[in-house]
Amino acid sequence: MAIKVFSFFFFVYLLVEMHEISAMVPAVIVFGDSTVDPGNNNQISTVLKSNFAPYGRDYFGGQPTGRFSNGRIATDFISEAYGIKPAIPAYLDPKFDIRDFATGVSFASAGTGYDNATSDVLSVIPFWKEMVYYKEFQDKLRGYLGNDIANHHLSESLHLISIGTNDFLENYYPFPTRSSEYPVDKYEIFLIGIASNFIRELYNLGARKIAINGLPPMGCLPLERTTNIMHGSACIEEYNDVAKDFNQKLQDSVTELNRELGGIQLVMSNPYYKLLEMIQNPILFGFENVATACCGTGYFEMSYMCDRMNPFTCSDANKYIFWDSFHPTEKTNFILADHAFKTTLTVFR
């Protein structure tokens, strides 16, 4: 009971702190994968969806939206922290239009990656198509606000990119194509080249405030730990080492791009060590379960395997770092967003 009370007040304390910081960003514009997809996959033909219970059970009204969590995702909290709005809509959701998108929109697609081959695995939106949607959005925004106001609006908006884990866990390691073509360090360089060119294109289209996320300790995701049963279901350190190496290369690229592109404010937000701290010291954050997820048995369920018929789903997701075997709970998303907002993203305030 004491842990539950502590967890609740800790969560409320962080929420109040974030609200007290004023905004200097008119919109949060998002690209990436399931970490930041609020429901675009609902509108495409793919098996990777989450627009059904128990997903969204702690969201506003208890409604599943297509977010891969029990509630809100990190970008929702970042938008709220900037004083914009409490949730960022999916670009493909027909319930919204340019009036909604003007203050924040997500083009992200669960299951996608930098590599086109990654999006092919589960037939989701490739990363390049997110840029196509962004250009379409820009045209709509100029029609809504006028050219000059829209251009200024875009230059002041935060463009946030969160992607990359699927390239390794859904593509490079499970299938032989890329791993036979590249040693892992060269694959990292290949992906960062795609990321760098994406940022250059955003810059050429008028974006000036850009944040790109690094990789989490992906060897500690419950699904990966389940496959490591011969070693006590410990984190797969090989995967964690790859994440750390990728993050260093990404940071080096960010440094170079800041030199190359005049007037850009480009930062890398690194979730690795904050999430690892939560995993290694869960009691400090009010968590009780780190190796398994809330939904189902917590070992392997995700998407359609995490459904309302599963009798093993936990009653209190705030005790868990992970909601399903691959994605964080709303509470974890909030802590990671709060950390990013108060560290890396301070340059935009």
> Strand, helix or coil at 212?
strand
- Compute CA 207 distance to the chain's CA centroid, rounded to the nearest angstrom: 20
Dist. CA 70–CA 33, nearest whole Å: 17
Query: What element of type H or E holds 29?
Result: strand 28-32
Angle among Cα 269, 332, 281 to the nearest 5 degrees reads: 95
Angle among Cα 329, 272, 242 to the nearest 5 degrees reads: 120
Residue of 150, 137, 21, 16 lying closest to 88 (CA atoms) = 137
Q: Going by C-beta distance under 8 Å and a sequence separation of 6 or more, which residues neighbour residue 341?
A: 18, 21, 77, 78, 81
Active site residue ranges? 34, 324, 327
